[in-house]
Amino acid sequence: VTANLIEDQGYWKRCFISSWGIADESLYDHDWKRMYFEKNLEGHIENFIPGTTDPSLLNETLKLSGKFIKRLEIKQLLPPIKVPQQNLNDSFSDCESDSEDNVFVGDHFDINILVKFVPCLNELSLYYGVQKCGMNFEWNLFEFTMRDCSLLAKLCFNYFALPLFSQLTLFQLCKSKVDDVKARVIIKSIIDHPTLKTLDFSHNKLGDKSARAIGKLLNNHSHLVKLDLKDNHISGAGAAAIAYAIELNSTLKFLNLQLNQLQDSGCQSICKALLINQTLTHLHLGSNGISEVSIDLLCQVVLHNKTLLSLNLSCNSIKEKAGISLQEALMDNSSLVDLDLRLCDVKNLELVKSINGEDDPFEWLGENVNKLRPSGLVDKDYTT
């Protein structure tokens, strides 16, 4: 009743706090009305059970609040409830066969309905899983089905390709067991999108085929600024495809490839690209099986790339000798602000770097931590 009648921020602040407590309104442009409707819609979607929940209430909520929604962060999507079937031979059944019979994978909420009611969506974050399932845990609660993928790709196409729905700037699909087949379907629907700035596929199952698709995305008329692919299954071949793309790309500034399987071949491909690319400012290659074999190219990047501000090589087998080579390269670098060598078997080194024309010593953060930042910048985090 009050959605279209009351604009007073004080009223909507009281409504929000009475339902969800204190929150940071700066994240919502200090708009309490928008905060209320976004949080309310998120709750309806997160608790919607396909085949069980009456969709009329959700549809009514979408009609009333859709025009106020700019960001949705969906923290769970529930699968349909499996109706148990009576088995006359329960007492004689084998436990293992029972568990196999009970495997049930169902499609989630049709996210494509947002296109009809939420025309001004700027940011969309999705998680195809269940929060706080407790002792009711089953693997099927965390399945991203092919139909889910098709519906999401359709939503992406509608929001990304049609002129009326071209305002989306951030898309996150994390921890949803997205594999190569599903990732390529989704990526195909967002190629050449004019406003997408941030793409996050972290904590999934993307492999080299997905990496090649992402390379095509970056090679086209991409406007991506931040790409997060941490904790996936990308190896050297996939890294080579991404590296080729960033050689030509002039918009990407943040690239996170942490917790993949790049090895030295993938690292070297990325390094060669960085000798050409003059846009990327933050790169995370932590936990990728990189060894001292790649140190020569890493040193070349430190020496010749003048735009890179943050380089994270933590949890790799860099070794002490390679660390000394990096130290020598840093002496001639006037742009790199953050070099992370934690857990790389590199001992503490005496590093001095010239910043703004003055000698300013790098500082190790803690004993044997091996995190390098200029003195005076210790409290500021430049990592991605």
Q: Note the pLDDT tens digit of each residue in 166-175.
A: 688 999 999 9
| Architecture of the 169-360 domain | Alpha-Beta Horseshoe (3.80)
Run of H or E residues at 255: strand 254-256
How much is the pLDDT for 1?
65
**pLDDT tens per residue, range 246-276:** 999 999 999 999 999 999 999 999 999 999 9
> Mean pLDDT over residues 21-48, rounded?
95
Which bin fits 322, alpha (ψ -120 to 50), beta or left (φ > 0)? alpha
Nearest Cα to Cα of residue 158 among 205, 93, 111, 108? 111
131 Cβ contact list (under 8 Å, min separation 6): 75, 76
> pLDDT higher for 299 or 330?
299
What single string gives the DSSP state of each residue in 360-376? EEEEE-STT--EEEETT
Q: Identify the band that residue 88 occupies on the pLDDT scale cut at 50, 70 and 90.
A: very low
Whole-number CA gyration radius for the chain: 24
Residue that the structure tokens 């846009």 belong to: 279
Structure tokens at 226: 């931040």
**pLDDT tens per residue, range 137-166:** 988 889 999 999 999 999 988 877 666 666
Q: What pTM, to 2 d.p., does this model score? A: 0.87
Structure tokens at 180: 């190569």
Is residue 73 scored above 60 in pLDDT? yes
Is residue 104 scored above 70 in pLDDT? no
Domain ranges of the chain: 169-360
Structure tokens at 248: 């030509």
Decide the pairing of beta strands 254-256 and 226-228: parallel
Is residue 352 scored above 80 in pLDDT? no
Here the contacts of 346-351 (C-beta below 8 Å, separation 24 or greater) are: 346/318, 346/319, 346/320, 346/322, 346/370, 347/320, 347/323, 349/323, 349/324, 351/327
**pLDDT tens per residue, range 315-344:** 999 988 888 898 889 888 989 999 999 999
CA atoms within 13 A on the CB side of 59: 5
Amino acid type, 238: G
How much is the pLDDT for 264?
98
Cα distance between residue 52 and residue 46, in whole Å: 14
Dihedral (Cα; 278, 283, 287, 293), 10-degree rounding: 20
Cα distance between residue 85 and residue 77, in whole Å: 24
CB 107 within 8 A of CB 50: yes
